[in-house]
């Protein structure tokens, strides 16, 4: 967590290429919008932000997996 006395770090706009890890801080946790069905994620928006540093990112989905199709 940042406190108000710390300088705001520069954010890198990482949107456009789906990623599993933030290139800015290395975090693999993202803040996204999602909907749930039967206790599991049913759908999610692809735009999100890194939970560690706040950089805007594009999160992956199954269609992005090059080995899936
Ligand atoms: Zn980050």
What confidence tier does 10 reach under pLDDT thresholds 50, 70, 90? confident
Domain assignments of the chain as residue spans, ordered by start: 12-59
- Residue-wise pLDDT tens digits, 22-67: 999 999 999 999 999 999 999 999 999 999 999 999 999 999 998 9
What confidence tier does 68 reach under pLDDT thresholds 50, 70, 90? confident
Cα–Cα distance measured from residue 64 to residue 69, given in angstroms and rounded to the nearest whole number: 9
Q: Which of these, 3, 12, 19, 17, lies nearest to 54 by C-alpha position?
A: 12
Cα–Cα distance measured from residue 54 to residue 50, given in angstroms and rounded to the nearest whole number: 5
Contact 56, 14 (CB under 8 A): yes
For ion ligand 1, residues whose CB falls within 5 Å: 22, 24-25, 27, 50, 52-53, 55
This prediction has a pTM of 0.80
Distance 41 CA to ligand 1 centre (A): 23
What confidence tier does 3 reach under pLDDT thresholds 50, 70, 90? low
């Amino acid at each position: 967590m940042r406190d108000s006395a710390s300088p705001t770090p520069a954010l890198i706009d990482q949107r456009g290429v789906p990623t599993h890890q933030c290139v800015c801080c290395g975090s693999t946790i993202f803040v996204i919008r999602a909907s749930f069905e039967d206790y599991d994620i049913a759908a999610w928006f692809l735009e999100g932000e890194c939970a560690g540093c706040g950089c805007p990112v594009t999160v992956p989905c199954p269609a992005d997996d090059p080995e899936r199709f």
